[in-house]
Chain A
Amino acid sequence: MITVIDYGLGNIQAFINIYKKLHIPVQVAKSESDLEGASKLILPGVGHFDYAMQMFSDSGMREKVESLVLKSNVHILGVCVGMQIMANSSEEGVESGLGWISGTVKSLESLVKADNNLPLPHMGWNSVTPNHKGLFNDIASGDLEFYFLHSYYFDCASQENCIASTDYSSNFCCAVNNKNIFGVQFHPEKSHYYGVNLLKNFAELKGC
């Protein structure tokens, strides 16, 4: 069962609505016991890195989620700050990240400095260039675009972990992957057609 982790951040209902519409079984986890039977996990998020880490650590679910992801190899998809906290650390805050995918979350400011006309945060619909079959299956053509809303991005230690990039005066990594662990900077739950397809692909990923 797809299980959306409700640690007080992000639009839980948006994921639920999409999976219900797709007739894919989905549930919300608010406590450790709700995580039983999860075959796929979604870690949503909007907001500040430190706040997200604190909320996740205080949710009572962190230990169980770590065991499912790191020991049982359950697929997980982090979204926005839900992806950022998978890194080792962030320039936005002082808390340590989960360290599931090696990298640092950095400010977009240094990336777009060269072009003073571009506003920050990076907000709106931008094109995405994927290089991963599974997550972007059947949607990697034409005008692929997703909704972004962020000031920081995931700078992977190893380029192998970067599975899609987007351009905002410079290219930056907008989707990450390490074995069963996935993360996207954009909001698939708010990206209409392409987002729905990405979430469907995530639901259909086979064990690794």
Chain B
Amino acid sequence: MLRSRVIPCLLVQDGGLVKTVKFKNSKYVGDPINAVRIFNEKEADELIVLDIDASVNNAEPDYKMIENIAKECRMPLCYGGGIKTLAHVEKIVALGVEKVALSSVVIDQPSIIVEIANKVGRQSVVVVLDVKKKTLSGDYNVWTLNGSHNTKKNAADVIQQVQNLGVGEIVLNFIDFDGAEAGYPIKGIQRLKSGIKVPLTIMGGAKSLEDMGGAIKQCGLVGVAAGSLFVFKGKYRAVLINYPERKQKKEFIYGK
């Protein structure tokens, strides 16, 4: 049986590893390569690395950094940040990255998904949507550029659009829950998941392994991703890269 993936998500800024709260107040938490090595040892299910500056600065992906991470990474790797063209994707895939994450480019130019999927296969095309609930409505809007720009597009519509164009996975990142470690927004996930036919990964709010297990129980087969949970320990948020062992995952997440 396919089991839900438990995924650390690493944010990169200026070549260093950072963690944010509600997409702001980025705190330096260490060296990305070192973190990758630790997740290798812990046998993490998968790893997401997002360069949160690239698109904001209108910069191309940092290929040297991606190469260094891909070389070290012994788990499946998804990279996102600054990807704007098929040429960027081909370069990144050639460096040994299994999945590429597109974000702002799919809002500006959705048809790029078709072009990319035809070349690298749809299973390698991920769309990361940063979403925020509208006030006085259960609907979510898609935001871009590190949560600074409201596209005013309805997340449910964007999901349908990217699915029809042939995306292989959708990652929903709940901006207001980022770094809060107060639990996943289950209602919002259920609402958006109902229209999703491709693998879905959720991010934003994970506070514990049990919380991840709860999200899987209530939302079905989903990838559960987290930043803070896997880089901080304790209420003072001391930096400690961590990931559950096989046995802990079974006990606390899958419930056996």
Measuring CB to CB, which residues of chain A are less than 8 angstroms from any residue of chain B? 8-14, 17-18, 46-48, 51, 81, 92, 117-127, 143, 145, 147-151, 167-168, 187, 190, 192-193
Contact = CB atoms under 8 A, between A and B. Distances in A.
Interface in B203-224: 220-221, 223
Nearest to B222: A119
A46 B124 contact: yes
B122 A151 contact: yes
Given A149-B123, A151-B123, A13 B96 contact: yes
Interface of B: 1-5, 43, 45-46, 70-71, 73-76, 93-94, 96-99, 117-124, 168-169, 196-200, 220-221, 223, 246
Contacts of B94: 8-9
A168 B120 CA distance: 23
Given A46-B98, A81-B121, A151-B122, A119 B45 contact: no
A114 to B, nearest CB: 14
Given A124-B223, A149-B124, A168 B198 contact: no
11 contacts: A11-B97, A11-B98, A12-B96, A46-B98, A119-B197, A120-B198, A123-B5, A123-B123, A124-B223, A126-B1, A143-B246
Given A51-B120, A149-B124, A119 B5 contact: no
Given A8-B94, A12-B96, A17 B123 contact: no
Contact of A167 (B1, B45, B99, B221): B1
Contacts, number: 107
A53 to B, nearest CB: 13
Interface residues of chain B: helix, strand, loop or mixed (majority): loop
B198 to A, nearest CB: 5
B177 to A, nearest CB: 22
Nearest to A51: B119
A123 B45 contact: no
Contact of B70 (A13, A118, A126, A127): A13
A46 B70 contact: no
B221 A117 contact: yes
A118 to B, nearest CB: 7
Contacts of B197: 119-120
A124 B6 CA distance: 10
B76 A147 contact: yes
Contacts of A120: 197-198
B5 A125 contact: yes
A190 B40 CA distance: 10
A119 B123 contact: no
B120 A192 contact: no
Given A47-B119, A119-B200, A190-B98, 15 more contacts: A18-B74, A47-B121, A81-B121, A117-B220, A118-B221, A119-B221, A120-B198, A123-B169, A123-B199, A124-B45, A124-B46, A125-B5, A126-B1, A147-B76, A149-B99
Contacts of A187: 76, 98
Contacts of B70: 11, 13
